[in-house]
Amino acid sequence: MRRIEPWWVYISLSVIVAAMTIFGLGVIEQRPSAVASQEQGSCSTAVSVFLTRRDLGAFTVMVNRTYTQPPWKGGGIGQAAPDFVTEYLQGRLMGYIANIALHGPDVPAEKAREHRIGYVGKWPLVPLEGPIVRDNRGLLEVYETVQSFKAWRAAATWVSTYRTYSGKPYPYSHWISAPQGARDSVAWAGTMGPPRPGTEHDVYYNARYGSTVLEMAFQGGASVNVQFVKPYWLKAAHRLVSVCRS
Amino acid sequence: MEDKRRRLVGALIRALTISSVVVAAVLIGLGKPIATLAACSSYSGHSYAYVQSGTGSNVIGTGAWTTTWPSGYSIRNNGINFSDEAQWVDGPPGGIDLEGGFFSGAGHNVAWTDGLMPYYTLDTWQSEVDDAGNFLQYNNKIWLNTTEAYGANGAFIQVGQYDMYPGNVSVGSPVQNYAQGEVYDTNDYHVLMGGSTTSPGESFHEQWEDTSRNFYDWGFYGSCVDSGYGLSGNGTDTWNNWGGQNA
């Protein structure tokens, strides 16, 4: 085994210490803009920003989770991380499921479908499908996510990643216009599978307000369309902007 | 005396060399994480085990026999994590790649799914299309096929009994074949890759596809695995992945 010679280890350590002193390693100065960004992060992920059961009705929260890293894969193998990864602050996701999907008359059909493919879990198999969707025209699943970034450009990149090459988002969806007041946005509406009874309809918004991105997925029965979800969207966007401004 | 002086000079040279390297490292890479050569992914929470084979000018696709995850497998519903098994074809650097497989957890056009849902992506992580409305059966032998556009035929993804058509997607030539198990878990590190503690991992029998749409066993593969996960195989056309902790 090679013997360590302490004296030149000491010299190397001295050089490292000197370099750390010269270049300020370990001393991170928190500039005013960084402080502002952190405040923006905490306000945008506060629970008070999100829709509640008072807004949605008979729903149960099935997901309530904060993000410490952006909830996406980042770069591919050998690729540099994009700015929405390096400039990420924090985020929160709230997911709601209609109580009728938990306790309603179509639960046996949901269980049968789960049994058929082998799913076992606390929550119903989502996206919901079949009689529960056919029999209920309104919202069945709602997902609200808020992400904060250090800079608006990173937030804009994040939104832009949701666009696809083809100009048409997904096989059974179409682009819809930008939500009111958003600076950058991606939005689509359609069905979550082949358009037949029992397939959820969905409206999806992903929109930037400053360096914060509000993302909402509304899923449910045949009445779920842009007009139907507009009041919910406006309430969520208004709450985000007003809470973060106050 | 001569021997002592030679040792002293040698020691001084070593000290100067190491000091120079340290100073250069500080100047060039201040604060950057040290790359781990064996890791597939440096992004925290994102882990792979993958195999790669090819290339050839007459290769247009990758095919594999594998099985879906055991009955009851699901990721704890937290809206973030996902696990997938997939394969892809990739061309020269700078081009796009085409990936197809199945996943459970956070999706793209599907906010969240507890089921095993087919998907494809273009360009690694962008333009993911989840095959909403279709679920795979658990613990079931399936055929995966990812084929780029060739001639008059568009690109083609087959995941079990489901087909998807990404359009006129060509990855360029020569084409390389890849297959992977992948997890993304930002907080818990509980996501199992491709199995459970009682039935760990999946076995893949890999094939490549020629321009006449014939399939042939891979002749060899290179591999990569992130810490915490495992990979083994025969080095030619069959490999297994496993890993993670029980949630």
Tens digits of per-residue pLDDT, A197-221?
999 999 999 999 999 999 999 999 9
Q: What pLDDT is recorded for position B190?
A: 58
Mean pLDDT for the stretch of residues A5-28: 42
Give B196→chain A minimum CA distance, Å: 14
Mean pLDDT for the stretch of residues A169-185: 83
In this predicted structure, the answer to whether residue A20 has a pLDDT above a threshold of 50 is: no
Distance, in Å, from the CA atom of B247 to the CA atom of B244, rounded to the nearest integer, reads: 9
Asked if A120 lies within 8 A of B110 by C-beta distance, the reply is no
Distance, in Å, from the CA atom of A57 to the CA atom of A45, rounded to the nearest integer, reads: 22
In this predicted structure, the answer to whether residue A26 has a pLDDT above a threshold of 60 is: no
In this predicted structure, the answer to whether residue A167 has a pLDDT above a threshold of 90 is: no
Asked if B186 lies within 8 A of A69 by C-beta distance, the reply is yes
pLDDT band per the 50, 70, 90 thresholds, residue A191 = very high
Place of tokens 């060039």: B28
Q: What pLDDT is recorded for position B186?
A: 63
Q: What pLDDT is recorded for position A36?
A: 55
> Which contacts qualify for A227-236: CB closer than 8 Å, 24 or more apart?
A228/A138, A228/A139, A228/A203, A229/A139, A229/A203, A232/A51, A232/A55, A232/A56, A232/A139, A232/A142, A233/A179, A233/A205, A234/A180, A235/A51, A235/A55, A236/A50, A236/A51, A236/A144
In this predicted structure, the answer to whether residue A141 has a pLDDT above a threshold of 60 is: yes
Chain-wide mean pLDDT for chain A?
81
Q: What pLDDT is recorded for position A113?
A: 95
In this predicted structure, the answer to whether residue A4 has a pLDDT above a threshold of 60 is: no
Asked if A8 lies within 8 A of B132 by C-beta distance, the reply is no
Q: What pLDDT is recorded for position A68?
A: 81
Q: What token pair was written down for B126? A: 């962008």
Q: What pLDDT is recorded for position B22?
A: 41
Q: Which residues of B touch A72 (CB under 8 A)?
A: 125
Mean pLDDT for the stretch of residues A57-85: 77
Question: For A17-26, A68-77, B189-198, which range has the lowest pLDDT when averaged over its residues?
Answer: A17-26
Asked if B26 lies within 8 A of A172 by C-beta distance, the reply is no
Asked if A79 lies within 8 A of B11 by C-beta distance, the reply is no
Q: Which residues of B touch A19 (CB under 8 A)?
A: 22-23, 26-27
Q: The dihedral of CA B3, B8, B10, B11: what is its sign? A: positive
Q: What pLDDT is recorded for position A194?
A: 87
Q: What pLDDT is recorded for position A122?
A: 85
Q: Which residues of B touch A173 (CB under 8 A)?
A: 109
Q: Percent of chain A having pLDDT more than 90? A: 50
Asked if B109 lies within 8 A of A20 by C-beta distance, the reply is no
Q: What pLDDT is recorded for position B75?
A: 72
Q: Calculate the CA A141 to chain-centre distance.
A: 14
- Establish whether this prediction's ipTM goes over 0.90: no
Give A39→chain B minimum CA distance, Å: 22
Q: What pLDDT is recorded for position B10?
A: 57
Question: For A91-95, A139-143, A172-176, which range has the lowest pLDDT when averaged over its residues?
Answer: A172-176
* Sites in chain B below the pLDDT cut of 50: 1, 16, 18, 21-38, 246-247
Place of tokens 């070593």: B14
CB distance from B77 to chain A under 8 Å? Answer: yes
Q: Which residues of A touch B14 (CB under 8 A)?
A: 8
Q: What pLDDT is recorded for position B225?
A: 85
Distance, in Å, from the CA atom of A115 to the CA atom of B72, rounded to the nearest integer, reads: 9
Bridge partners of residue B50, in order along the sequence:
B180, B224
Strands of the sheet with B175-184, listed across from one edge = B129-130, B112-122, B97-106, B82-90, B175-184, B46-56, B222-225
